[in-house]
Structure 1
Amino acid sequence: MVCLRVNLLTKLGVLVLFQVAALIIYNSQDIDPEPSVHLAGDTVDYSAEYRIIQFYKHQGIPQDYTYHDVSIATQCSVNHLHHLVELAERWKGPISCTVFAPNLDASYADDAIDILRKCFSDIRKYVYFHLVYPAQHPADVSKVGVWQDLSCSALLDKLQNYGYQNYVVGNIPFPHNILRNVARKGVITEFVLLIDIDTMPNLELRQEFNNFAYRHSLFGLLTEQTVFVVAAFEIKKGIKMPSNKTELLSGIRTGTVRTFHNETCWWCHRSENFDLWRKIPQVSNLEVAFYADWDKSWEPFYISHRNVPLFDERFKQYGFDRIQQICELHIAGYKFAVLNNAFVVHHGWKFRGNFYANKDKDNAQNWILFNYHFKDDLQKKYNTNRTCSPVELWIPPGKRRSAPQPISHGRGVVASRFKPNILKEGAR
């Protein structure tokens, strides 16, 4: 009997020791006192790598909504949301905006959306928001409310100083084309202008294009295979955005405005033929100034019918993410009509060297995808032998001056749009 009691006590002692040990281990772990709170109701992209919430915190359709209109589609991470204030004020019409919101960025995006709507009536009336985040980095809204007491100006300051560099969101690859497609799919008008969120259209462009579309019976014309190109420029930081073409050309003359990517990739907008465009005077009506020839490095901004091909979502980070979609338009037989008075202007000049650390690596990866996979896919999709361009040597942009010539008729570029006598280089 004594032995039985001893054995029982021994077993109880061992059990207690195990429980104490388990408690010590549990308490020694780094347990988050505020666990993550994830959003429900999301869908997935075609690869199942990303989650999507369309029309996040939707507040309804404005009373003056009409399908025969043109919307802006745009995308950003949290640190660029402040640009919506100016964009909505200039556009005065529907804007579909996708926000990349992995992890706790979703909490701050949620607060920012609420405060932006409260502070700015144009955002409240016109902007539809969508969220995208990686499946491995789900949107975490456990910190919602941290910014809720911020004033309007304090919020804008928070957003501008959020701390991200372009293409770098907590070391998570930035999926431009998924974000663009989500914004495109969130457009509820017949026409769409897809631009970067820090790129501003000229004033009255929406109304001028609607008038143009009515004059030329474009609404409801689903067979029209023309995109309407708006010339692209960049302006020095701190300088007021031009309202119209006259003001824009004045900025060109004074040196505060120049063609987009003038220093980093001017050939990416060569087809817009600025020398011809600037000679066409500003007139009261928006019209087609001329038709542009497609070029393999062209990255135009344009207004199009909502049914134009979407972006290829395999392209992430830097390089070929816009070129591939223009390539598909070319293969599909679209025409590129440059408008006479229309333009967009990017906030700030772009300079060589002001890119993130892995730009060349990502560009090379996308070059392989574009030349050895995407272009073949297009030929199968459209059942054609037509192609965008012959395969050329991959040469990082900063090393092209001393590089050998491309394999097949590279058209060449110069270092600056306004320095035409500089030695030509291989194309992008």
Structure 2
Amino acid sequence: MFVRLRKRSLAVLLVAGAVPVMFMLYFIFTTEDVVSNHDRILEADVLESKIVQRLRDTENQNIVLRKELSQTQNQLLRLQMTLAAANESTKMKCLNAEPDVPKCELIHVAIVCAGHNATRDVVTLIKSVLFYRRNPLHFHFISDPIAQLILSKLFETWSVAEVQYSFYPADSIKPDVTWIPNRHYSGVYGLMKLTLPKTLPLNLEKVIVLDTDVTFATDIAELWKIFRVFKGKQAIGLVENQSDWYLGKLWKNHQPWPALGRGFNTGVILLELKMLRELSWMQMWRLIAEKELMTMLYVSLADQDIFNTVLKQHPYLVYRLPCQWNVQLSENTRSEQCYSEASDLKVIHWNSPMKLKVKNKHVEFFRNMYLTFLEYDGNLLRRELFGCTNADDTAHGQDLLSELTDDDDCYDFRREREMTHRTHLYYLDYSYEPQSDDVTLVAQLSMDRLQMLEMICRHWEGPISIALYMSDAEAQQFLRYAIGSETLMSRKNIGYHIVYREGQFYPVNYLRNTALQQVKSPFVFLSDIDFLPMYGLYEYLKKAASMMDISHEKKALVVPAFETQRYRLEFPKSKAELLSMLDMGTLFTFRYHVWAKGHAPTNFAKWGTATTPYKVEWELDFEPYVVVRRDIPSFDQRFLGFGWNKVSHIMELDAQGFEFVVLPNAFIIHMPHAPSFDIAKFRSSSVYRKCLKILKGEFQRDLSKKYGIKALKYLSVE
């Protein structure tokens, strides 16, 4: 408006000629520039003020929007959780609507188990499965040699009805997976589940795969029937991972392997083996793993990383199991969302190096459930499955028992002679290669003699094979005791073999045979747990066994036995000190006051002055502690509890022509302890003593039949 007025005035002035034209032009345009600059400054100030205000308004609006977005996200999360729960519920309803697995249908379970510790874990898992199961089972173990030895003996002696087992050597599988760099604590064995479609028999079409650190809280048949709802090419059933591992949010620069969403946990897997073989599973996962390792360099979670990356590229393979089938108790998990009540639980997975120390608001409940199965009497799981038991499996045992009659006063003795005790070999780590002249101390004990172990270890540095007669709960007490003992944990040359308690008599010779069978050295020293060897006895016996050539000659080297009645004893460091203590009455020859003839043939008077080994003749009731070669006859298992258990064995050695040679510079000392329960029964029960006499007669007659005329002397002497 102002410009338009100025132009109109200029026209008037030009017409009037009142002012020179050039001057007027200069004045007007100069004035216009000044006014224009001032105007622009005012406009800029106004604009800046408007921009600042608009920014403030925008920021306020953003704050409101963020609050609304946060509320919306929380609502969506709650809705997602509700939908997930509803989905889980729908799945469970659909699964529950499926008909039950036929009661005699065989369920197959695959487990990778290697090493001593893993065998202890797998026993707890198997107990939980057996406790709830109503179907026959077939366990497929990928194992190293030590685990195969332990588990085969365990299943053989457990004798659970309708349970089969097979082993697949891990060494033959290692080439398929050792090329994968792995930082998981499970080592190469943590990768072997990837090979199951190749490793397991071709006629096996489906299998449940379990980690050793899971515990069942329901019948495994419920999991088995989920195979029926697999569709299309679904071949791998897994539970979603309950930690944020595969989301990459656990720490800065955390780069997990690729996965679908949260990924999946491989502690519990359903594998459709037939489908995976058709899809060339071995080639599929190997190609994907090789490609990813070019950038990832190694796996952190063993097979789980590779399974997840394969499923990321081939999502059609996976069937999402309800999360109750793998409630994961590890760090940074959200496992609490899987259940609201204990009845919802199906499988508890202790998938953390911390194991029972993991933090969870219900961890005490889970821990108690685990400990229940840990200490549960496995003998109670031998029950037969109604209508499924194979008659041929139990026919032999029934035939033996049918020959016994209840009206026999010695029925209990005869029945327990036929009993097979559940046995867990090498309960703790064992790693020892025997020398060519090595001697292993063989002994057995029950819980009340446990304190002798450390004392013997201080006196005997060589290998030991020892059978421990305990209940499941006592075995756990022993484990805690051993782990807490620096003396025991420092030794890897001791084989601890748990024989689980069953029956009313102490199976002393069964225990001795168990320990004897596991000896790896050429020679054995047959001792008892309440004897302490003299210092240096191990090295002395090795030299004596070699010098006496007992590997080729039938000789039993007698180690003279003494005893003390004092709980605290200044242990003699030499034969001279021992003889002095005998003179002073601090020590005595073993059982001189109650059972002198058990060791009288040793001839202690001669031993006191002997400097070279000397031969002694066998006499009735002779029961010395001897060093012999490993391939001797077993102890006769008809003798239970107290009485004639060693006497019968020495008698058979004599029948086989063994010479008894006393070592002049060797000794052991019996330490005092409370009387055993079995000796108390022997002393108080006339039936016990009567049956022992009957069993002795039967043994002597059997010995005569076995060894002919040369064994008749045992009958005549008696």
Scaled to the shorter chain, the TM-score interval is 0.5 to 0.7
The equivalent of 1:131 in structure 2 is 498
CA separation of 1:240 and 1:388: change in aligned 2, threshold 3 A: farther
* Residue 211 in structure 1 maps to residue 543 in structure 2: yes
Q: 1:180 aligns with which of 495, 512, 530?
A: 512
C-alpha spacing 1:197/1:258, structure 2 compared with 1 (3 Å): same
Could you tell me which residue of structure 2 aligns to residue 144 of structure 1? Answer: none
The answer to whether 1:84 aligns with 2:453 is yes
Deviation of 1:122 after TM superposition, in Å, equals 7.2
- Matched position secondary structure for 1:356: helix
What is aligned with 2:184? Answer: none
Cα deviation, 1:159-197, whole Å, max 9, x if unaligned, reads xxxxxxxxxxxx831111011111111211111111111
Give the residue type in structure 2 aligned to 1:233: F
Q: CA 1:334/1:75 → structure 2, altered by over 3 Å: closer, same or farther? A: same
Aligned residues: 310
**Which structure has the larger Rg over C-alpha atoms?**
2
Of 569, 572, 579, the residue aligned with 1:242 is: 572
Q: In the alignment, which residue of structure 2 is the partner of 1:301?
A: 625
Is 2:600 aligned against 1:270?
yes
Q: Which amino acid aligns with 2:600?
A: R
Provide the C-alpha distance between the structure 2 equivalents of 1:180 and 1:297, rounded to a whole number of angstroms.
19
Q: Check whether the contact 1:235–1:258 (CA below 8 A) recurs between aligned residues.
A: yes
Amino acid at match of 2:594: T
2: CA distance, partners of 1:71 / 1:108: 25
Change (3 A) 1:299 1:215: closer
- Checking the alignment, whether the CA contact within 8 Å between 2:599 and 2:622 is kept in structure 1 is yes
Measured in 2, the distance between the counterparts of 1:377 and 1:363 equals 20
After TM superposition, give the deviation of residue 315 of structure 1 in Å: 0.6
Return the offset for 1:279: 2.0
Cα separation, partners in 2 of 1:384 and 1:214, compared to 1, 3 Å: same
SS of equivalent to 2:577: helix
- Report the residue type matching 2:492 in the other structure: K
1-structure distance, mates of 2:678, 2:499: 26
**Could you say which residue in structure 2 is the equivalent of 1:196?**
528
Provide Cα deviations, 1:125-156, integer angstroms capped at 9, x if missing partner: 3321001124xx4xxxxxxxxxxxxxxxxxxx
1:370 is aligned to 2:696: yes
Alignment of 1:312 with 2:636, yes or no, is yes
Contact 2:457 2:487 in 1 (8 A): no
What is residue 167 of structure 2 aligned with on the other side?
none
How far did residue 60 of structure 1 move? 2.2
Please state how far the C-alpha of 1:38 moved relative to its aligned partner: 5.2
Residues 366-401 of structure 1: CA deviation (Å, up to 9, x unaligned): 221111x1112112222335235347xxxxxxxxxx
With normalisation by structure 1, the TM-score equals 0.66
Provide the residue aligned with 2:42 in structure 1. none
Contact persistence 2:376–2:473 (CA under 8 A) = no
Structure 1 residues 179 and 342: alpha-carbon distance in aligned structure 2, compared to 1, 3 A threshold? same
TM-score normalised by the chain length of structure 2: 0.40
**Shift of the alpha carbon at 1:257?**
0.3
* Partner secondary structure for residue 73 of structure 1: strand
CA deviation after TM superposition for structure 1 residue 115, in Å: 2.4
2:376 to 37, 47, 61: 37
Task: Give the AA of the match of 2:445.
Answer: C
CA 1:299–1:50 in structure 2 vs 1: closer, same or farther (change >3 Å)?
same
CA 1:323–1:388 in 2, change beyond 3 Å: closer, same or farther? Answer: farther
Distance 1:344 1:263, change over 3 A: same
Task: Provide the rounded CA distance (Å) in 1 between the counterparts of 2:458 and 2:593.
Answer: 29
Q: Deviation at 1:356?
A: 1.2
State the alpha-carbon separation in 2 of the partners of residues 328 and 354 from structure 1: 24
Compute the displacement of 1:200 (Å).
1.2
Shift of 1:265: 0.4
Alpha-carbon spacing, 1:316–1:126, altered in 2? closer, same or farther (3 Å): same
Alpha-carbon distance change, 126 to 244 in structure 1, aligned in 2, over 3 angstroms: farther
How far did 1:318 drift? 0.9
Identity of aligned residues (%): 27
Q: For 1:402-422, what per-residue CA distance to the aligned partner results, in whole angstroms no more than 9, with x for missing partners? A: xxxxxxx77xxxxxxxxxxxx
Gaps of 5+ in 2: 1-367, 383-396, 398-415
Q: What are structure 1's unaligned runs of at least 5 residues? A: 1-31, 138-170, 282-286, 392-408, 411-428
Residue 102 of structure 1 deviates from its aligned partner by 2.4
Coordinate RMSD, CA, aligned: 3.0
Aligned to 2:54: none
1 CA distance for matches of 2:561 and 2:492? 27
